[in-house]
């Protein structure tokens, strides 16, 4: 277990420009004003702290499952409300500038209105899973670990940039819209009605009623439609097997996939793929 620190830990970036670290704060932790020569994301795994950018009028509260992105050169300090365990992602400026899309993602993350990103349970688990994998790569020091860490850092930037807007707690329709938005980019995950209702903070019955009012179909029908549409596009491209397309779309049972596909498109997945190969050739 990492030793609790009283002062901020020292960071030395590898040539890849991406480094993951953990900082466990002692109750006596103190941080003076500082500027870092790199960009960094601070994610609160446990505890609570306040981030104070010197130029800002007010501090920002960072509680469990919240994240703040701090550009290089911004003077800031942390003042713990209670002892924290923080996960840090440090990025050299070259890492951000190396790829135009990485710069766009970083700018999107920084543009969040509150300056703080609050992650709900589903997104929290995905972020922490990527972080754990990256820290394993650094410790294991296997061939290609820097490349793996860089790829995982890019995935985290992508996840943070694509996070849905914060969910209103009082508007039931907006809660359902929030789930629909999240579902559009994660339909291949293990979704079910219980998970969707929990994401909206509603009972199964209430969620089902509001979902049907909003989309005109049941949650299961909507999820199946998203998955089938994705599988059909993959088969249409001609670069995926039927098993690969079904797997990529989130289907676990191949025979069930066949039945649903034929019911929707009137042909088997094999015939669908062959038809589009002929159309492309002609």
- In this prediction, residue 168 carries a pLDDT of 46
Q: Are residues 106 and 157 in the same domain?
A: yes
CB atoms within 10 A of CB 53: 18
Tokens of 5: 């620190």
* Whether residue 129 sits in one domain with residue 39: yes
pLDDT for residue 2 is more than 70: no
The pLDDT of residue 200 is 82
Spell out where the chain has E strands: 18-24, 39-53, 60-62, 66-70, 76-91, 117-118
Q: Report if pTM > 0.75.
A: no
**Whether pLDDT at 124 is above 90:** no
Quick one: 114 and 227 in the same domain? no
Tokens of 68: 């703040």
pLDDT mean over 25-48: 95
Per the structure, the complete domain to which residue 33 belongs is given by: 18-162
Give per-residue pLDDT as tens, 249-279: 999 999 999 999 999 999 999 999 988 765 5
CA distance 121 to 263: 35
Residues 233 and 186 in one domain: no
Q: How many domains does the chain have?
A: 3
**Whether residue 179 is found in the same domain as residue 239:** no
Q: Is residue 252 part of a domain?
A: yes
What confidence tier does 126 reach under pLDDT thresholds 50, 70, 90?
A: confident
């Amino acid at each position: 277990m990492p030793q609790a620190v009283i002062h901020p830990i020292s960071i030395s970036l590898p040539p890849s420009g991406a480094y993951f670290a953990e900082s466990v704060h002692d109750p006596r932790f103190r941080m003076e004003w500082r500027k870092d020569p790199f960009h960094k994301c601070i994610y609160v795994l446990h505890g609570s702290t306040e981030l104070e950018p010197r130029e800002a009028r007010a501090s920002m509260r960072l509680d469990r499952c919240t994240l703040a992105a701090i550009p290089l050169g911004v003077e800031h300090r942390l003042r713990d409300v209670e002892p924290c365990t923080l996960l840090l992602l440090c990025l050299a400026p070259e890492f951000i500038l190396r790829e135009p899309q990485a710069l766009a993602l970083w700018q999107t993350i920084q543009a969040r209105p509150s300056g703080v990103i609050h992650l709900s349970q589903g997104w929290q688990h995905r972020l922490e899973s990527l972080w754990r994998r990256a820290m394993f790569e650094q410790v294991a020091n296997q061939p290609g670990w820097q490349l793996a860490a860089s790829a995982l850092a890019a995935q985290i930037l992508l996840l943070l940039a694509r996070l849905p807007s914060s969910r209103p707690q009082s508007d039931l329709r907006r809660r359902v819209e929030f789930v629909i938005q999240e579902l559009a980019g994660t339909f291949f995950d293990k979704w079910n009605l219980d998970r969707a209702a929990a994401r909206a903070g509603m009972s199964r019955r209430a969620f089902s009623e509001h979902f049907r009012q909003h989309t005109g179909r049941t949650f299961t029908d909507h999820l199946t439609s998203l998955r089938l549409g994705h599988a059909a596009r993959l088969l249409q491209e001609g670069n995926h097997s039927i098993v690969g397309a079904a797997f990529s779309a989130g289907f676990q049972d191949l025979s069930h996939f066949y039945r649903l596909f034929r019911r929707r498109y009137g042909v088997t997945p094999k015939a669908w793929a062959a038809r589009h190969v002929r159309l492309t050739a002609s």
